Structure 1
Amino acid sequence: MNDIIPLPKDTPRPPETVLVNITPQETRVAVLQENKICELHIERNGGHGLVGNIYLGVVRRVLPGMQSAFVDIGLERAAFLHIVDIVEQRQNPEAAPRIEHVLFEGQTLLVQVIKDPINSKGARLSTQISLAGRFLVHLPQDEHIGISQRIDNEEERNNLRERLLALLPPAHGGGYIIRTNAENAGDAELAADIDYLGKLWHDINSRARTSPPETLLYRDLPLSLRVLRDMFHAGTTRDIFVDSTLNHTQMREFAGRYVSRAADKLHLYQGERPLFESYGVEHEIQNALKPRVNLNFGSYLMIEATEAMTTIDVNTGGFVGARNFDETIFKTNLEACHAIARELRLRNLGGMIIVDFIDMVQPAHREAVLREFAKALSLDRTRVTLNGFTSLGLVELTRKRTRENLAQILCEPCPACQGRGHLKTAQTVCYEIQREIVRENRRFDAKQFRVIASPQVIELFLDEESQSLAGLIDFIGKPVLLETDGHYPQEQYDIVLV
């Protein structure tokens, strides 16, 4: 197994501009670094993301063999709860309790969504509740005080821990994780977060005692406000532009209460062109749905996402370079590192990812590419684990998957190819039709056959395949009539027996 490559924690984050586009149907948030979009978040009014939501669930089925259970929380599909996400297991990992000793069918329990439903999979749950604030994450069932790994200065970590402990009320109950944003927070801001999260947990508990099963007890903030809570950073966020007057007012009120440093950077966009169009975001979104990503000087990436994994292939294309071939390959791979890291964030690709860099002969080049790749990946807000080169020269990494990727949100499988990504040729369909006519002729005593197909297939029958069609008619001794239907995709056809 390859060694895990540590991601640097001190990579300077480029200044970011955040664009918030709001319509009655959806909210879209784009994060730009160096005038290039690197993140896109979409929340539609008819389908809010579920991560962070807290429900009163009902255990419908316990599966001892899988050490998991299906829990009904009122969604179309039952949600999935694994033993590792049960609070008793997390608090006592060495005890390793069996799930059938912890849960039983019909049991009601408080659960939180940690992964949205993806494709045919239901949501993933945890019984360990966490409530996110601006600077802190509250763990009401735990006594642990943790600190974000991105804060790596030991003196700063100790200082934050001592400040938090001094601010906690005597009988506070529960634990906390100190978020990266807390580095620049004052005591008053931390105290406000503690008070807000404590009241929020009290309200959730009160509702749980009086609500029926399958009730939504808590929904996370809307995307427009999560921008301020989760994405704003006083040191790197340059500006936040919002194109809705109503939501700009709501965001300013929220900023005034919880994120005061964001207020001066929050602007109402009033340009003549639409916000996303003005910054070139619409064009970049269209490009993010294509498998090919063009780099400089003719080199490019090919990105293919499947349910099992995502593969990324780096190609030099027409790039020949100004020096020797090894330097050309090395330069292309270095550029690809940053492009790949950006595309992973923009497309929100998760799970297992395999990168096929162009083969490098020199070990020093391979090591330099891995270092550059780790540096580029360290800017990702989502957890990434990077492994070194395999024996086949591939780089493996995993990226935490919490919601659907961009293509799954914006697209659906092609009705013509059923998601295969390619179509049978018109000639292939012609030959399928002829074989089926021969089969049907043996089974039924029809007077004639009428073929209804796409314009491409009928045109081929009348032109290049006219001789084969004539041979078929002679063979079965019955006429074959052709009819075009412009609504038929290339692979669809019907044979009507008359």
Structure 2
Amino acid sequence: MKGTQVVLGHIGDAKVAALLVDGKLQDVLVEDVSRLPLGSILRAVVDRPVKGIGGVMLRLPNGIGFLKNAKGLAPGQTITVQTSGFAEAGKADPVNQRFIFKSRYAIITPDQPGLNVSRQIRSDDLRDDLTMLAKTAMEGSEMGLIIRSSAAHADVEEIADDIQAMRASAEAISAEAGLEPQVLLEGDDPHVQAWREWSDVTDVLTGDDDLEGSGALDQIEAAQGAWVPLGGGGMFVEQTRAMVTVDVNTGGDLSPAASLKVNLAAVQDLPRQLRLRGYSGQIAIDFAPMSKRDRKPIEVALRAALRSCPIATEFVGWTPLGHGELKRKRERAVLNDLLK
């Protein structure tokens, strides 16, 4: 199948959204039925400070949370927070006090005033029109607004309705008061996330058998394994307790250029493979044997591939043993944990 498709369906009780480009799975969102969605806004109660880190432990309606860089908070105090990532098993969920309200065309920022239009919208006339729309929609409010790049091809009334809906939610949450932990607003499930983040895709499949018929289901199952074929070679992408490890192999290719070839293929596909599996944190890459002069093109290709990935990932550098190191934000649960 040529072109871009979004496939919405279920695996068991979990909602699933898959993004396919020319039949190849580029991204997959799977619902974690055991916890609140990422981006949920909660009323939390301060439990105790964590000395030496500058954070506090919080009592959440769904468990325990951790807030970094917390100043001036006293035990028993109630605050509003937003879930910002997924913790490893046995650890507190990370939360953020600077919460946002994000939709298809707009983002409301209650604690960051100002009206902004995405830099990806380059037309001066369109930017002027959207700025005027933002001023009108946010009149009388001190909250901030960001108009997203997806608004470039949207109807003005749709954008205005989206802003008003987000503003109403933000004002309602800001007016909430209480003394006990409470869910104030649940985050989006995978189907809503797909509508929000993949708004430029018009080919959307929602049939009961479309996950299987499109080939997405087979590719999701393949992503639950460690092996990734890359031409004649491949790589193993595996999670350990301490980190994610990537082992690149040339396979049966014994030509002089085999190592550089498979290493380049590996770094170009690695962000997608990490995204599909939900892997994050510290990542160590054991490349196929290569000389130090080949590190530069590998690093350039890796940085280029990471720029197009929606999950923030930093190339940290090279170890004395020649391993590449990455640091990736924990924005998703591990696929194997969701579908086991």
Q: TM-score, normalised to structure 2's length?
A: 0.89
Higher percent of residues as strand: 2
Distance verdict in 2 for CA 1:63–1:362, change over 3 Å: closer
Distance verdict in 2 for CA 1:371–1:238, change over 3 Å: farther
Would you say the 8 A contact 2:117–2:147 is kept in 1? yes
Aligned: 1:178 with 2:147: yes
For the residue of structure 1 that corresponds to 2:180, the secondary structure is coil
Aligned: 1:194 with 2:163: yes
Q: State the shift of 1:238 in Å.
A: 5.2
Q: CA RMSD in A?
A: 2.7
Would you say the 8 A contact 1:71–1:78 is kept in 2? yes
Would you say the 8 A contact 1:58–1:71 is kept in 2? yes
Tell me which residue corresponds to 2:101.
Answer: 131
Aligned residue type for 1:114? S
For the residue of structure 2 that corresponds to 1:78, the secondary structure is strand
Distance verdict in 2 for CA 1:401–1:317, change over 3 Å: same
How many angstroms apart in 1 are the aligned matches of 2:36 and 2:27? 16
Distance verdict in 2 for CA 1:27–1:130, change over 3 Å: same
Q: Alpha-carbon deviations, 1:125-158, whole Å to 9, x = none? A: 1121210121121111221445557x28596996
Would you say the 8 A contact 2:23–2:215 is kept in 1? no
Would you say the 8 A contact 1:117–1:403 is kept in 2? no
Aligned: 1:356 with 2:326: no
Would you say the 8 A contact 2:56–2:68 is kept in 1? yes
How many angstroms apart in 1 are the aligned matches of 2:127 and 2:184? 35
Aligned: 1:406 with 2:335: yes
Would you say the 8 A contact 1:351–1:398 is kept in 2? yes
Aligned residue type for 1:316? T
Aligned residue type for 2:205? F
Tell me which residue corresponds to 1:374.
Answer: 303
How many angstroms apart in 2 are the aligned matches of 1:410 and 1:286? 9
How many angstroms apart in 1 are the aligned matches of 2:202 and 2:274? 23
For the residue of structure 1 that corresponds to 2:211, the secondary structure is helix
Aligned residue type for 1:62? P
Q: Alpha-carbon deviations, 1:44-95, whole Å to 9, x = none? A: 5x425432111121111123432111111122x3111111xx5xxxxxxxxx
Aligned: 1:311 with 2:280: no
Would you say the 8 A contact 2:238–2:246 is kept in 1? yes
Tell me which residue corresponds to 1:114.
Answer: 84
Tell me which residue corresponds to 1:25.
Answer: 13
For the residue of structure 1 that corresponds to 2:31, the secondary structure is strand
Q: Taking CA–CA contacts closer than 8 Å with sequence separation of 6 or more, which of the two structures ends up with the larger relative contact order?
A: 2
Distance verdict in 2 for CA 1:153–1:296, change over 3 Å: same
Distance verdict in 2 for CA 1:20–1:184, change over 3 Å: same
How many angstroms apart in 1 are the aligned matches of 2:93 and 2:126? 34
Distance verdict in 2 for CA 1:120–1:331, change over 3 Å: same
Q: How does 1:83-94 map to 2 (within 5 A)?
A: 83=69
Q: State the shift of 1:161 in Å.
A: 7.1
How many angstroms apart in 2 are the aligned matches of 1:73 and 1:111? 9
How many angstroms apart in 2 are the aligned matches of 1:169 and 1:410? 42
How many angstroms apart in 1 are the aligned matches of 2:3 and 2:99? 33
Tell me which residue corresponds to 1:6.
Answer: none
Distance verdict in 2 for CA 1:19–1:173, change over 3 Å: same
Aligned: 1:216 with 2:150: no
Aligned: 1:397 with 2:326: yes
Q: Alpha-carbon deviations, 1:153-176, whole Å to 9, x = none? A: 596996587345543443121112
Tell me which residue corresponds to 1:493.
Answer: none
Would you say the 8 A contact 1:111–1:126 is kept in 2? yes
Distance verdict in 2 for CA 1:36–1:169, change over 3 Å: closer
Tell me which residue corresponds to 2:47.
Answer: 60
Q: State the shift of 1:123 in Å.
A: 1.3
Q: State the shift of 1:289 in Å.
A: 2.1
Q: How does 1:446-465 map to 2 (within 5 A)?
A: none
Higher percent of residues as helix: 1
Q: State the shift of 1:340 in Å.
A: 1.5
Unaligned runs of 5+ in 1: 1-13, 87-98, 245-273, 412-498
Q: State the shift of 1:406 in Å.
A: 1.0
Q: How does 1:2-41 map to 2 (within 5 A)?
A: 15-22=3-10, 25-41=13-29
Distance verdict in 2 for CA 1:124–1:393, change over 3 Å: same
Report runs of 4+ in structure 1 exceeding 6 Å deviation.
Answer: none
Q: State the shift of 1:403 in Å.
A: 2.7
Would you say the 8 A contact 1:303–1:311 is kept in 2? yes
Tell me which residue corresponds to 1:300.
Answer: 234
For the residue of structure 2 that corresponds to 1:336, the secondary structure is helix
For the residue of structure 2 that corresponds to 1:115, the secondary structure is coil
Aligned residues: 339
Would you say the 8 A contact 1:49–1:403 is kept in 2? no
How many angstroms apart in 1 are the aligned matches of 2:162 and 2:122? 23
Q: State the shift of 1:119 in Å.
A: 0.9
How many angstroms apart in 1 are the aligned matches of 2:285 and 2:132? 44
For the residue of structure 2 that corresponds to 1:375, the secondary structure is helix
Tell me which residue corresponds to 2:207.
Answer: 243
Would you say the 8 A contact 2:286–2:322 is kept in 1? yes
Q: State the shift of 1:353 in Å.
A: 1.3
For the residue of structure 1 that corresponds to 2:203, the secondary structure is strand
For the residue of structure 2 that corresponds to 1:367, the secondary structure is helix
Give the alignment partner of residue 82 of structure 1, picking from 68, 78, 91: 68
Q: Alpha-carbon deviations, 1:165-207, whole Å to 9, x = none? A: 543443121112332323333443332222111111122234x
Give the alignment partner of residue 264 of structure 2, picking from 297, 312, 334: 334
How many angstroms apart in 1 are the aligned matches of 2:180 and 2:111? 21
